[in-house]
Structure 1
Amino acid sequence: MSDAKPVEEMTFEEAMRELEQVVGQLERGDVPLEDSIKLYERGAALKKRCEDRLKAAEEKVEAITADADGNATGTKPADGL
């Protein structure tokens, strides 16, 4: 895990994929305690990254307004996307 990509540089998809791997390893229960703790910490950071990216995407979508015909009338940029 020492050569792992920093969580803050990951896309949503990368973070989600690695989070699924971390959960799988922890669920198997065949990881030594110290490694389990490190995996749990990494998983918590990955979970937060996914939540943050989803929140940013939701805010961006909410910033798009539509007129009566469904045409976008304007957008407000959301930070981070």
Structure 2
Amino acid sequence: MSNSKEISFEEAMEQLETIVEKLEEGDVPLEKAINYYQEGMKLSKLCSDKLSNVQEKMAQIMNEQGELEPFEVQEDK
């Protein structure tokens, strides 16, 4: 399902939803169901990691009072 290239959060979620739909149908042979489950777990971890990364970035941007931290914009010379 997923390629070795980095996929976006949205692409991973779409693939995960497709896997869940197939598994919920119930007509999947056991071996194929196990493969779907493994792929789903990989996609779930990828999504979780991406969300954690975004949370870390947001924490760097905002201070404890919920205000944006000032940052310098570097101008091209």
TM-score, structure 1 normalization: 0.74
Q: Which has the larger radius of gyration?
A: 2
- Unpaired runs of 5+ in structure 2? 73-77
Secondary structure at the aligned position of 1:21 is classed as helix
**Match of residue 47, structure 1, among 44, 47, 58:** 44
Percent identity over the alignment is 40
Tell which deviates more after alignment, 4-13 or 38-47: 4-13
TM-score when normalising by structure 2: 0.78
CA distance 1:7–1:52, shift in 2 (3 Å): farther
User: Which residue pairs with 2:59 in the alignment?
Assistant: 62
Q: Which AA in structure 2 matches 1:16?
A: M
Query: What are structure 1's unaligned runs of at least 5 residues?
Result: 76-81
Q: Which has the higher strand share?
A: 1
Any idea what SS the aligned residue of 1:73 has? coil
Task: Give the ranges of 4+ consecutive aligned residues of structure 1 lying more than 6 Å apart after TM superposition.
Answer: none
Question: What count of residue pairs does the alignment treat as equivalent?
Answer: 70
1:32 aligns with 2:29: yes
Per-residue CA distance 1:11-60 (angstroms, 9 max, x = gap): 10000010000011001111111100100000000000000000000000
Question: RMSD of the TM alignment (CA)?
Answer: 2.2
